[in-house]
Amino acid sequence: MRQRFNFQASTLGSDQPSLKLTQRRLSRSPVPTAMGLAEGRPILQTCLLAAPDLEDAFGVTREQLTTIADRLASGTAAAFERVIGLQPNRTYACTLISLRGPKGEPPSDRLWKQVLDLVEPVLRSQHS
């Protein structure tokens, strides 16, 4: 996203029918998750900010995601370091993770956690 006020999972998936959620509701199990239907099939979604030094880097709403992104580098020293090129500019980007359940059934919390546990270290290793 170019602007932080658009930085949310619902905006990221809005142009793709297979990712655009209807009947969207939010959950925190096991991480902030959006649940709903995409093309009439149950789906779970979250976003991961792949910074290697963050412990809790999942979110779906603008408030969750911008709080995480803004935490990456804040304060006067960090702003100065960005200006002179010692730190990268703050970006509002995340990896959207979606999971459909088998045969139209909602994915289980156990399967969702397994997927996140597999994906998270891979994405973090690419950004370290």
CB atoms within 10 A of CB 123: 17
**67: Cα separation from own chain's centroid:** 12
Confidence at 6, pLDDT banded by 50, 70, 90? confident
Mean pLDDT score of the chain, rounded to an integer?
A: 84
Cα separation, 48 vs 85, whole angstroms: 25
Read off the pLDDT of residues 53-81 as tens digits, 9 standing for 90 and up: 677 889 999 999 888 887 766 677 877 88
**97: closest CA among 124, 128, 63, 67?**
124
Share of the chain above pLDDT 90, in %: 39
